[in-house]
Amino acid sequence: MEMYKLLRKTFLFLPLLLLFITDIHAVTYDFEFINTTTVNYTTGEDYVDVTTQFLRKVNNREYLFSTKGEKIFHIPDSASGKDYEIELERQYKLDSLKVTSNTGNSVPYTVEKLELGQGLYINVPNYKTTTYGSVYVVNLNYKTHIYVRNVKDWVAIQVPALHQDTEFTQKDNVSGTTTKIEYNLNLVVDSNITPLTKVLPTTYTASTKDSKTTYSFNGEDRVGVPVYMEFGTARVFRFETKLKAPKTDNIVPEKYSQALSALSTNIYQVPLPREFAETNQRVMIEDIYPKPSKVTIDLEGNVIGTFEVPANKDTQILISGYIWVEQGDLENSRNIPNLEYSEYKDAVRKDSKLSAYLLPTKYWETTDTFIQSQALELVKEKEFVLDVIKSTYGYINEVLEYDNAKAESSNERIGAKAALQGGASVCMEYSDAMIALLRAQGIPTRAAVGYVGIEDITDQKNVPHQWVQVWVPEYGWLSIDPSYESVNMQIGTNIDSVLWETFFDDDDTNLGVYTADSIDLSTFTKENYSIQVYAIEEKDVPEVGTLLSYSDIATQGEDMDVKDTLNILVKTTTIGKAFIIILPILVVLVLLILLLSLITILIRRTKSQRTSQNQQP
């Protein structure tokens, strides 16, 4: 709405001076307003240089623009961030702001600060009259961080969409004059940047000159559609997991931890980063303490480390390592098969392994009449499965509104139905809603949990993020993030994310503990359990020979076996501990009984021998 107001305000302050001449000559357009924004990015920088040129052209000799009007430029704020961050970024822009004429001379201007989040108006009075044959040009130049994310060799540039009410022609009902309006966008990068991997919208032109490539987009394609460009085919992340295992046993003295370990043990199950085919995600471990007793890969492919730690003292579980992800460049991006919807459902029905990904749960109310009706409505007249997915994606973004207050609170999970009926929503609700609808549409779906928007190392611990994965034949699990944005939908490969765990049911973590004492993992805060993931360069990774795979760390298995169950039962239950205490006593008693029995037998034999000797003549 602000952009619409801007356009209205702009033309209200451009008074048109009509010269009353008898002969009116017909022209295609009486006036042209050409807005050309050039976003220039230099590899390695964390900002872009933005220049918006406004060119006013009079094509009809009978008219002119006087110096009484002004041109109003809009500089947007960041769409997210804290107030002080927006204020700092505003000041950064203003410190670099320059307004010049076509000859390079400075032009006076004033600044109007809108509410935080709505941006700035830069008001530039007309510095000269615009007549036929004499164009009017004013250039606005500034630097900003909000259009670019540069993390090591990976770069993403995004420029906001034009407002839905943007007009490209205008007609004045009083004078009958017509105006052509253009909104051109050029994104310029140098030859040092990594390969281009994504461009949205997909209609653009590219040209290279003097080691710089310019990608040009016209205004019509940008109405309601942000321009997004991504560069970089591979990323490396370091992760550090820390779990504080608190003391829960106050009976066994700490100095006897080793001697009486079986009597004072807690067993933790800690999720480790998994591997994933879509991004060719692979994991290597640098350090792990203590050594896990087992590393399990469940039916989902999740990796879970089992750690036995003393229960009678405070200790820590520490894990660090590296994660690699990849994607193809723009010419070699992975194709997503788009089957006919009916053909897709037939293929799903034939695969019994997928049935678990269609079931209703507490938070994915697939069989609820409301969910069913919405799901059915979204598949109407949809021929292909990707059309169904995109329709559902769009619907969720229309209905749900991201609630930052909920994200910063205890964030109680409300489920798909409540979210779709107006409940406060964050990524979990976006995910839950999409899973419920897709399952109701016969599309196997699961929840994915991991980390996105990964930056360089900071003191901040990463916040887990939840998204969706659907099964596509000949592709595998396809990632979809409905909380990303509604237009440039995040469907498919995303190397700005790390996948940690996936779930076919309502679970949201594989973190667990077996203990005979009192401990509640739900009370764990970032201080108790933290995962930090940050981007590094390949050269910062140690020699691969010094790193460990999961199979190097401990015996792997696909599930808990009888031995694991008995181990947990004996070490972490009251019955098991009682058994450990009683067993030695029982053994001693048995030995004593055996010894007494043996002594009794020997005594009897001795007495028998003496009696026999006394009876001999």
234-245/529-536 β-pairing: antiparallel
Residue-averaged pLDDT of the chain: 88
User: What is the Cα–Cα distance from 389 to 384, expressed in whole angstroms?
Assistant: 9
**What pLDDT score does 281 carry?**
97
pLDDT band, residue 519 (cuts 50/70/90)? confident
The set of residues, in sequence order, having a beta carbon less than 8 Å from that of 460 and lying 6+ positions away, is: none
Q: Which ranges constitute the DSSP H helices of 455-573?
A: 550-553, 562-572
| Predicted confidence (pLDDT) at residue 378 exceeds the cutoff of 50 | yes
The CATH number of the domain covering residues in 2-232: 2.60.40
Residue 481: what are its φ and ψ, rounded to 5°?
A: -115, 95
| Predicted confidence (pLDDT) at residue 273 exceeds the cutoff of 60 | yes
User: What is the Cα–Cα distance from 386 to 393, expressed in whole angstroms?
Assistant: 10
**What pLDDT score does 265 carry?**
87
**Percent share of the chain, pLDDT over 90:** 69
C-alpha 531, offset from chain centre: 15
Instruction: Provide mean pLDDT across the span 162-180.
Output: 95
| Predicted confidence (pLDDT) at residue 252 exceeds the cutoff of 60 | yes
Instruction: Provide mean pLDDT across the span 384-413.
Output: 89
**What pLDDT score does 22 carry?**
37
**Cβ atoms of residues 485 and 228 within 8 Å:** no
CB atoms within 10 A of CB 552: 10
Let me know the angle formed at the C-alpha of 222 by 39 and 341, rounded to the nearest 5 degrees: 130
Distances (CA, A) of 220 to 283, 390, 562: 44, 22, 65
What's domain 335-492's architecture? Roll (3.10)
Task: Identify which of 424, 300, 273, 400 has the alpha carbon closest to the alpha carbon of residue 357.
Answer: 300
pLDDT band, residue 10 (cuts 50/70/90)? very low
**What pLDDT score does 553 carry?**
79
Q: Which of 104-108, 191-195, 300-304, 486-490 has the lowest mean pLDDT?
A: 486-490
| Predicted confidence (pLDDT) at residue 398 exceeds the cutoff of 80 | yes
Instruction: Provide mean pLDDT across the span 479-491.
Output: 88
**What pLDDT score does 88 carry?**
97
**Cβ atoms of residues 438 and 389 within 8 Å:** yes
| Predicted confidence (pLDDT) at residue 23 exceeds the cutoff of 50 | no
C-alpha 600, offset from chain centre: 77
Instruction: Provide mean pLDDT across the span 479-484.
Output: 92
**Is the Cα dihedral 138, 143, 148, 153 positive or negative?**
positive
Exposed, middle or buried, 30 (CB in 10 Å: 0-12/13-18/19+)?
Answer: buried
Instruction: Provide mean pLDDT across the span 481-507.
Output: 92
For the segment 274-305, what is each residue's pLDDT rounded down to a tens digit? 999 999 999 999 999 999 988 989 989 999 99
Bridge partner list, 55: 34, 137
Which residue would you say has higher pLDDT here, 8 or 614?
Answer: 614
**Cβ atoms of residues 271 and 510 within 8 Å:** yes
User: What is the Cα–Cα distance from 93 to 113, expressed in whole angstroms?
Assistant: 12
148-151/154-159 β-pairing: antiparallel
Per DSSP, the three-state class of 385 is helix
Exposed, middle or buried, 3 (CB in 10 Å: 0-12/13-18/19+)?
Answer: middle
pLDDT band, residue 459 (cuts 50/70/90)? low
Q: What is the pTM of this model?
A: 0.85
For the segment 86-117, what is each residue's pLDDT rounded down to a tens digit? 999 999 999 999 999 999 999 999 999 999 99
Instruction: Provide mean pLDDT across the span 597-602.
Output: 82
Q: Which ranges constitute the DSSP H helices of 34-106?
A: 83-96
| Predicted confidence (pLDDT) at residue 457 exceeds the cutoff of 50 | yes
**Percent share of the chain, pLDDT over 70:** 85
**Cβ atoms of residues 292 and 306 within 8 Å:** yes
Cα end-to-end span (Å), the chain: 129
pLDDT band, residue 517 (cuts 50/70/90)? confident
All structural domains of the chain with their residue ranges: 2-232, 233-329+514-572, 335-492, 581-612
Task: Identify which of 302, 369, 340 has the alpha carbon closest to the alpha carbon of residue 550.
Answer: 302
Q: What would you report as the CA-atom Rg of the chain, rounded to the nearest whole angstrom?
A: 34
| Predicted confidence (pLDDT) at residue 488 exceeds the cutoff of 90 | no
| Predicted confidence (pLDDT) at residue 7 exceeds the cutoff of 50 | no
Question: Token digits for 39?
Answer: 């976003």
**What pLDDT score does 161 carry?**
95
Instruction: Provide mean pLDDT across the span 246-251.
Output: 81
**What pLDDT score does 233 carry?**
98
